[in-house]
Structure formats: structure tokens, C-alpha cells
């Protein structure tokens, strides 16, 4: 087999492949034998029908096409290896006339990963906010910890804004043909900011046995399609009022928050330990935001053309994830959610496509940087990540490994995630990082555009 590079335009490469006449004849003979062995032809034992009979039965073009299809996988792999191609998809085939006794030629058109001209890392500058945990941040956090560890006691008084109220409620969509729902019981924590203002106001000042009603308009994009975009009436009966009793700042509370083995004994020690942990968490978040900003700037400034094949592939992945999420969370189709949210299919696909293009562009830039600077994930790093995730999930590493191995692509996704994190940290080690007490502008992902 001989190959010839015919040309390259951007990330499209054309290669001529020529099979020698003798090699093609050998594979053609095998194709004829295979057809003869696979079909029953009247008057001939299986596998003994001569070639002219096989040709009459199936046609010469069919035999030639089948032969070439059998030869192409090996030829494509050889071309990929010889020219060191990083292909995106299977190549397109252009075939001329096949004449037996003469070399057989075809043209393969490959779409390969685009060339990426990386921006100079040293020219990128990002801000990283210095972590600070003054008492104004610490005190609300400690109160949140106390609220999370509180107990609830029934009280016989009017409802206040820190209580948990047990109610029996009915809902009715205010449309002519909609009936009231069946009664349901629910606990409503009035300290939760997610509670609707209308519901909170209707319950405040009431007591056990009170019956109240309220109406409100539900957002068009609300998670329950049956009420999304509609006006709803709530009828509630207060069954019980429970007040929140906060724990004392004592050793039992310290152990509950910090762990049984904590050496903390006093309120001052507790506050400083919480402050320290907040400081570490804020520092990690600040570093992560600065890192994302640096990667976004690198992605924006680097020059490349994003292949539509990869964008289309990512769009399909994102849509499949949305369809799965709609079914698992709400028990409805994605189309129903879009309809209830008054979102046109075309607008949704355009938004999805923009997101997919940004994701693909970012991945291509990071891949190019990782390849250029020889960044990879070692087995030790992979094992350490398995240990970390297993600890977070409260399972052994062996259990987690077994779960990952049952999904063919899970280990690859884990390795890719580690590699991208490692490349992003490499970016942070090369760009200029300015530590500041306050960011000059909010950090956010930089939308990239084609160059």
C-alpha cells in the first residue's frame, strides 16, 4: 500500500491511498470465499460456488465494495500512524473506478484536531483575593452552625419568623377546570429564605388550628411543570408550631461541629478554629476563581478554529444530560419543561450551542498546553484521587474503584478531570498573580469568540 498527502486546509487533511493490484486481488478472492461460505446457492454445496456465480448473484460492485471495506480499517490506521494524525471522526471516502489487474486508489479526507496558537502565559495577569474572616463573617457562620444543630420544641403561641410550622395544605391552580389537590402535610421552616414571601406572611402571627389562604403567581421556569407559569391558591391549616432552640457553646457542641477528637475546649478556641477553617476554605475558593479566570483569559487570547464536529458532539451530550435531568428530577420530558417555560426550541439549542462551543474551545486550549508542556497524570496521582473521593463518600477505595470500573468511561473521565486540573494549576504557576484585599472587578468566566 502506498499513500500520498494531497493537501491540508485548516484541520482538513486529504490523503491518497493506493492498494497494489495483487493485494486487492488477494482480498477480493477472500471476499468471494466468504460470500460463498455464507449463502446457499442452488446447485452448489456451501462454499463451492464459483466466482462467476457469486458475481451474478451479488454483482461485481458489491464484491468490490465489500473488499475495500475490509481493507480500509487497516489502511486508515496506517495512515493515522504514518502521518501522526489526531483525528476527530472517521474519514470520508472518495473512490474512483475499480479495474481488476490495476492498482486501486481512493482518497481519504480526515478531520483532525485544529492547531492551537497559545497565548503567552507570562502576559496574563489575574487578581487573587486575600482571604479574610472578620467577626462580621465569623459570627453569622457560628449562628448558622448553631441553627443546624438546634432542636425543635412544640409551643402554644403565635408563629414567629424563626419557627418551623407543620401545616396541612391543599393547592389549586386557578383555572376553570382544575380541582383542588388532595391534602398533604409538610413542615415549613420560616427561617428558610426559599420559603415564598406570600406563604411566610400568611403564617406569621397564626397559631395551631388557624386556617389561612394565599395566592401567588408561579414562575414560568418553576421545576413543577403542572403549576409553572400559573396562579395558584394555597389553603393551609396550622397543625403545630415548633420553636428553634439553639445549643449552648459547650464541648458537646464543639465535638458535634469539629469532630469527637477535637482538642477545643473553650468558646474562644472554638471561634478561632472555625475562623481558621473558614480562612482555608475562602483561600481555596479565591485561588480556584483566579485559576478559572486565568484559564478563561488564556482561552480567549489563544487562536484556533473550533471544529463544528466537536461542537455538535458536545451539544448532543449536553442535551442528553438535560433530558435525563428533566426525567429524573421532574418526571417529565425536556420538551414539556421548555414549553412550560415558554422557551422556543431554537432559542434553547442556540444557548446550548454557545455553551458547547465555549466548553470545546477551552478543552482544546488546555489539551494543547498539556501536550506542549508534557503534562500528564501519574498512577500515584490517580490512586490518591481515588483515596480522596472514597473518603469523602464514606466508602473504601476498592468499592469506589469497582463502581468506576463498571462504567467503561468513568475512569477516563476521572483521569481527564485530574489532567485538566493539573494543567489549570500549571497555568496559575506561569501567569502573574496579584494578591489583593479586594478585587478590582468581579471575576467571571470570559466568553471566547472565534479568531
pLDDT tens sequence across 375-415: 999 989 988 988 888 888 888 888 888 888 787 788 888 88
3-state secondary structure of 408: coil
Q: What is the CATH number of the domain that holds 413?
A: 1.10.3120.10
DSSP tag of 207: -
Range with the poorest average pLDDT among 27-31, 116-120, 237-241, 396-400 = 396-400
Place of cell 409551643: 155
Residue 38: partners with Cβ closer than 8 Å, 6 or more residues away:
none
3-state secondary structure of 167: strand
Q: What H or E segment, with its residue span, contains residue 37? A: helix 21-38
Indicate whether 346 pLDDT > 80. yes
Cβ atoms of residues 287 and 104 within 8 Å: no
Place of cell 469527637: 260
Does 236 share its domain with 328?
A: no
Enter the C-alpha cell of residue 410.
Answer: 468513568
The Cα 217–Cα 63 span in angstroms is 68
pLDDT at 399: 86
Residue-range definition of the domain harbouring residue 328: 267-436
Looking at the domain assignment, is residue 27 inside a domain? Answer: yes
Measuring CA to CA, how many Å separate 430 from each of 122, 256, 294, 363?
Answer: 6, 42, 10, 19
3-state secondary structure of 165: strand
Does 241 share its domain with 271?
A: no
Does 427 share its domain with 387?
A: yes
pLDDT at 413: 86
Does 287 share its domain with 403?
A: yes
Range with the poorest average pLDDT among 168-172, 219-223, 269-273 = 219-223
- Phi and psi based region of residue 374 (left: phi greater than 0; alpha: psi -120 to 50; beta: remaining): left
DSSP tag of 271: H
Mean pLDDT (whole number) for 285-298: 96
Higher-scoring residue by pLDDT: 386, 154:
154
Looking at the domain assignment, is residue 29 inside a domain? Answer: yes
- Phi and psi based region of residue 58 (left: phi greater than 0; alpha: psi -120 to 50; beta: remaining): alpha
Of 340, 311, 313, 315, the residue nearest 326 (C-alpha): 340
Does 349 share its domain with 403?
A: yes
Place of cell 478472492: 29
Structurally, how many domains does the chain consist of?
3
The Cα 177–Cα 151 span in angstroms is 43
Looking at the domain assignment, is residue 380 inside a domain? Answer: yes
| Mean pLDDT rounded to a whole number for the chain | 90
Q: What is the pLDDT of residues 35-53, one digit of tens each?
A: 888 877 777 777 677 888 8
Cβ atoms of residues 169 and 198 within 8 Å: no
Looking at the domain assignment, is residue 357 inside a domain? Answer: yes
pLDDT at 403: 82
Indicate whether 446 pLDDT > 50. no
Measuring CA to CA, how many Å separate 297 from each of 291, 370, 431, 434?
Answer: 10, 16, 10, 15
Q: What is the pLDDT of residues 53-74, one digit of tens each?
A: 888 888 888 899 899 999 999 9
Does 231 share its domain with 290?
A: no
Amino acid at each position: 500500500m502506498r499513500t500520498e498527502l494531497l493537501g491540508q486546509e485548516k484541520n482538513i487533511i486529504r490523503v491518497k491511498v493506493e492498494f497494489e493490484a495483487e493485494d486487492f486481488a488477494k482480498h477480493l478472492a477472500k471476499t468471494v470465499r466468504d460470500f460463498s461460505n455464507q449463502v446457499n446457492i442452488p446447485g452448489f454445496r456451501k462454499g463451492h460456488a464459483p466466482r462467476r456465480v457469486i458475481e451474478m448473484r451479488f454483482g461485481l460492485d458489491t464484491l468490490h465494495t465489500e473488499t475495500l471495506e475490509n481493507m480500509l480499517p487497516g489502511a486508515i490506521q496506517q495512515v493515522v500512524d504514518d502521518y501522526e494524525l489526531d483525528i476527530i471522526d472517521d474519514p470520508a471516502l472518495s473512490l474512483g473506478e475499480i479495474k481488476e489487474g490495476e492498482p486501486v486508489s481512493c482518497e481519504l479526507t480526515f478531520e483532525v484536531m485544529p492547531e492551537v496558537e497559545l497565548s503567552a502565559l507570562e502576559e496574563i495577569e489575574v487578581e487573587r483575593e486575600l482571604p479574610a474572616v472578620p467577626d462580621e463573617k465569623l459570627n453569622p457562620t457560628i449562628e448558622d452552625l448553631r441553627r443546624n444543630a438546634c432542636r425543635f420544641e412544640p409551643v402554644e403561641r403565635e408563629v414567629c419568623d424563626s419557627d418551623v410550622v407543620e401545616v396541612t395544605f391543599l393547592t389549586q391552580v386557578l383555572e376553570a377546570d382544575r380541582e383542588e389537590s388532595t391534602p398533604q402535610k409538610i413542615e415549613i421552616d420560616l427561617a428558610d429564605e426559599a420559603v415564598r414571601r406570600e406563604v411566610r406572611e400568611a403564617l406569621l402571627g397564626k397559631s395551631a388550628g388557624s386556617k389561612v389562604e394565599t395566592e401567588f403567581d408561579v414562575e414560568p421556569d418553576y421545576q413543577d411543570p403542572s403549576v409553572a407559569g400559573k396562579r395558584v391558591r394555597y389553603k393551609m391549616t396550622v397543625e403545630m408550631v415548633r420553636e428553634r432552640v439553639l445549643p449552648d457553646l459547650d464541648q458537646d457542641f464543639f465535638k458535634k461541629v469539629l469532630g469527637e477528637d477535637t482538642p477545643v475546649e473553650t468558646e474562644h478556641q472554638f471561634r478561632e478554629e472555625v475562623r481558621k477553617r473558614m480562612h482555608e476554605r475562602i483561600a481555596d475558593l479565591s485561588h480556584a476563581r483566579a485559576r478559572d479566570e486565568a484559564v478563561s483569559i488564556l482561552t480567549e487570547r489563544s487562536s484556533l478554529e473550533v471544529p463544528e464536529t466537536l461542537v455538535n458532539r458536545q451539544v448532543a451530550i449536553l442535551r442528553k444530560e438535560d433530558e435525563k435531568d428533566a426525567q429524573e428530577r421532574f418526571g417529565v420530558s425536556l420538551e414539556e419543561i421548555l414549553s412550560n417555560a415558554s422557551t422556543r426550541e431554537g432559542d434553547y439549542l442556540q444557548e446550548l450551542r454557545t455553551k458547547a462551543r465555549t466548553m470545546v474551545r477551552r478543552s482544546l486550549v488546555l489539551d494543547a498546553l498539556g501536550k506542549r508542556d508534557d503534562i500528564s497524570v501519574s498512577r500515584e496521582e490517580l490512586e490518591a484521587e481515588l483515596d480522596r473521593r472514597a473518603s469523602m463518600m464514606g466508602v473504601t477505595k476498592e468499592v469506589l474503584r469497582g463502581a468506576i470500573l463498571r462504567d467503561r468511561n468513568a475512569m477516563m473521565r476521572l483521569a481527564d478531570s485530574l489532567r485538566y486540573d493539573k494543567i489549570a494549576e500549571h497555568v496559575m504557576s506561569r501567569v502573574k498573580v496579584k494578591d489583593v484585599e479586594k478585587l478590582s472587578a468581579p471575576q467571571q468566566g470570559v466568553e471566547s469568540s472565534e479568531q
